[in-house]
Chains A and B, each alone.
Chain A
Amino acid sequence: EVKMVQSGTEVKKSGESLRISCSGSGYTFDYYWIGWVRQRPGKGLEAMGIIYPDDSDTKYNPSFEGQVTISVDKSRRTSFLQWKSLTAADTAIYFCARTQASSWSATFDFWGQGTLVSVSS
């Protein structure tokens, strides 16, 4: 059974750094992309980027390039989403998802439960 399990709720202050995690199990971790998706309170879904664990190839949605860092530790079957300096605008639920991707398509097929990040000013 494929499972994506994310780290717990984070409460931070503006300017602080943060790294949240997503662990995959039940499949060959190295050979499926992992994607990250943001959902601000009461809003829709925004895809942030995807990473390929085998070689750490990373593709960012242009609006998130330079704002966050997506990384992976394949020995721990875990992907990470990291901020150097949070702002209130980063308050959201962040989902990870196993992703089947090619040059022309990306499908988020198994999702984590989400990590709530709350940033106060």
Chain B
Amino acid sequence: IQMTQSPSSLSASVGDRITITCQASHDIKDYLNWYQQKPGKAPKLLIYDASNLETGVPSRFSGSRSGTHFTFTISKLQPEDFATYYCQSYNHLSSFTFGPGTKVDIK
């Protein structure tokens, strides 16, 4: 699987709505996850199976799917949301794929 994630970086302000996309090279159904990583920390699962919010994750985070096109949205950016975000999928040939990441920083 190839995952095309965009943009590679974006600058935004607190309160902004931001969107990150991942395009899969072929049909992966809903099997796409989104993670947040802050500098010096382990990644954290935010969204699993395209649109399911992990327990304890704020509702301003959301995910959706249209065919092989996946969207991750933060509705109102908070100061603690400045981080790098990765999409991730897997296929039955043991191919685990992370997208290249999107760095979200302060405008």
Contacts and interface: CB of A to CB of B under 8 A. Distances in A.
Contacts of A105: 31, 49, 89-90
Interface in B69-107: 86, 88-101
Contacts of B94: 49, 59-62
Interface residues of A, number: 27
Most buried by B among A35, A49, A61, A113: A61
Interface residues on chain B, size class: 20 to 34
Given A108-B45, A111-B44, A62 B95 contact: yes
A113 B35 CA distance: 15
Contact of B54 (A60, A109, A113): A109
Main secondary structure of the interface of A (DSSP, over half): strand
Contacts of A104: 29, 31, 90-92
Given A44-B98, A44-B101, A47-B97, A107 B33 contact: yes
A79 to B, nearest CB: 16
Interface string B31-42: 101010100001
Contacts, number: 67
Most buried by A among B90, B92, B93: B90
Interface string A83-121: 000000000000101000101111111111110000000
A68 B40 CA distance: 24
A78 B90 CA distance: 24
Nearest to A110: B45
A46 B98 contact: yes
Given A44-B98, A50-B96, A61-B94, 11 more contacts: A44-B99, A44-B101, A45-B43, A45-B101, A46-B98, A47-B88, A59-B94, A62-B93, A95-B43, A97-B42, A111-B42
